[in-house]
Structure 1
């Protein structure tokens, strides 16, 4: 069995400190997590277990997974923990009779769907998965559910809009099959709103943007992960496009702190952007990664900007969460990149 890639103790301790009040509100709770084996779910689950050890919360966690044996191989320290129950099943048709107090529904494939069959399956997983989770939570009499949606629900952000807020009236093209993921998340949000309105389950929506941290793949479709991979390999850091789009990145430990605040204190029937407001162009991000991670390795920007074409933006306005829930990002981007790279060096 390979050595499990544990999350940094420093990060887990910081989460416990920053979210102590919200964690204490979960004392004695049974929490059901879908998507608990992915990037976001793994961070949340391991942070909860670490906080339980520190604060004596007496938590019980149930993780829904399609492959329990694979998860036991990848995260044996979690799967073998007495506080954790693995439930093998499909999010669209699972059964679980034991009631839980809270649900975190974070099960969504994020990989691109290229064929009609893949797109249909992606949409069905999102919509029918949400339908089943709501059905089960309602049968439990579960009062609170946190749904991880996406900033993709806003569609393309106008280039003259610096940050997109939760009240922004826009959306993806419903006739574009490339928007399948986006429309699936919109439909699932509506399902949650209907359930909240009917007083069945109180659904709080987290609209997630972009993140960086240990466990983020460095060989997939995440630009920041690929840049870190290139820098760790000695460069060059390759930018396949022209480097003009703007993105922002929240460190995974801060993401968990925000999710806990939403789970405990978020207003039902309301959405909150989760991410960072600090925009950086992809070209500047590559330069930053090259300096912080690669000690100044070269950067290769392979595309050429088109004259007169405004830069694409995907930047959240996070004031709602900051004002209503009093959350802040504690780890700046440069430090987030350094921590992520250090973790990859340690596990390689």
Structure 2
């Protein structure tokens, strides 16, 4: 059911040392103390968020001698070994082969469950399948947490739970009562994340699990797939190829981007210091339009603004926004945005070049 680690060498990180230093410096000592000696079950451990969590936890494990045991769920262990051998083959990591929707065979003791599987719906995805996969995965991880006596459970949810952000609302608060439109099948992801949050709260009420929810907004950094449906990744890909960045639509929608090292600080702090039963927005509150994003990527990568916009903006049209209000995390948990957008873009580019060079040698 699992693949034993084959390497006993010290951890050699796959991300920049200054990112690891930031994570160590900006994460309160109480977090590392609370994680000491813990057995942590991680879903989504082979994806963008999961790889960053593993990088940080393994670095802290080595730095503070935490003696962590990290159980990482993956459908394809061999593929993860090929992708990130320094993570997959670390002695503190144990790969659990399986699917998040079928975890009934796992019965070992666990202290913490990090449900970080965050696959989103692509164009053409079956909405019902997307909904079922997300909800069933949450049910299975909660059942595992109850069965294996986990004390803490963290769900990585999404800002999609709020539905469309009103045009006049510049930043959306955790207590906003809006929701995805039930008459639109393409809201399956947001609908499923809302149900998942409800299931988490039910488990906390019935079984006494210490639960927290992180509502994740847009992210940027190494390990982000540049060929997926993420505008920032696509823009970086095209600019690195020396191509003009093409903005579909009119480029007036507002987004914000939190760098992945900052994200790890936020996730681990929410897990340990966050109030049980609470949800926290996780993201940057520094808004910019997609047009401004294209201009920024172009300047950082190409040294000039080289982009085009497919459509003219409609005068007086309501702004489309996806921007969190992060006051709750800032005030209650002392969390802040540490990495500016140009730096996040440059770090992502540098890492991508490094990976490309390594793959050729």
Length-normalised TM-score, structure 2:
0.92
Question: Does the CA contact (< 8 Å) of 2:146 and 2:207 recur in 1?
Answer: no
Stretches of structure 2 lacking an aligned partner (at least 5 in a row) = 1-11, 357-361
How many Å apart are 1:210 and its aligned residue? 0.2
How many Å apart are 1:230 and its aligned residue? 1.6
How many Å apart are 1:10 and its aligned residue? 2.1
Listed one character per residue, the Cα deviations across residues 182-239 of structure 1 (whole Å, up to 9, x for unaligned) are 1000000000011111233222000000011011111111001111112111131111
Q: CA–CA distance in 1 between the matches of 2:292 and 2:192?
A: 32
- Give the equivalent residue in structure 2 for 1:13: 21
Residues 280, 314 of structure 1: CA spacing in aligned structure 2 closer, same or farther, 3 A cutoff? same
Residues 111, 5 of structure 1: CA spacing in aligned structure 2 closer, same or farther, 3 A cutoff? farther
How many Å apart are 1:154 and its aligned residue? 0.2
Written as runs of structure 1 = structure 2, the 5 A alignment for 1:230-269 is 230-269=238-277
- Give the equivalent residue in structure 2 for 1:27: 36
Is 1:60 the counterpart of 2:69 in the alignment?
yes
Written as runs of structure 1 = structure 2, the 5 A alignment for 1:118-157 is 118-157=126-165
- Give the equivalent residue in structure 2 for 1:310: 318
Length-normalised TM-score, structure 1:
0.95
**Secondary structure of 1:25's partner?**
helix
Question: Does the CA contact (< 8 Å) of 2:72 and 2:94 recur in 1?
Answer: yes
Q: CA–CA distance in 2 between the matches of 1:93 and 1:328?
A: 37
**Secondary structure of 2:35's partner?**
coil
The alignment's C-alpha RMSD in Å is 1.5
Q: CA–CA distance in 2 between the matches of 1:70 and 1:288?
A: 34
Q: CA–CA distance in 2 between the matches of 1:111 and 1:120?
A: 11
How many Å apart are 1:345 and its aligned residue? 2.0
Deviation beyond 6 Å, 4+ runs, structure 1:
none
Listed one character per residue, the Cα deviations across residues 161-187 of structure 1 (whole Å, up to 9, x for unaligned) are 000000001001123211111100000
Is 1:70 the counterpart of 2:79 in the alignment?
yes
Q: 1:278 aligns with which of 280, 286, 308?
A: 286
Is 1:183 the counterpart of 2:183 in the alignment?
no
- Give the equivalent residue in structure 2 for 1:51: 60
Stretches of structure 1 lacking an aligned partner (at least 5 in a row) = none
How many Å apart are 1:297 and its aligned residue? 4.6
How many Å apart are 1:113 and its aligned residue? 5.2
- Give the equivalent residue in structure 2 for 1:93: 102
More displaced, 203-212 or 330-339?
330-339
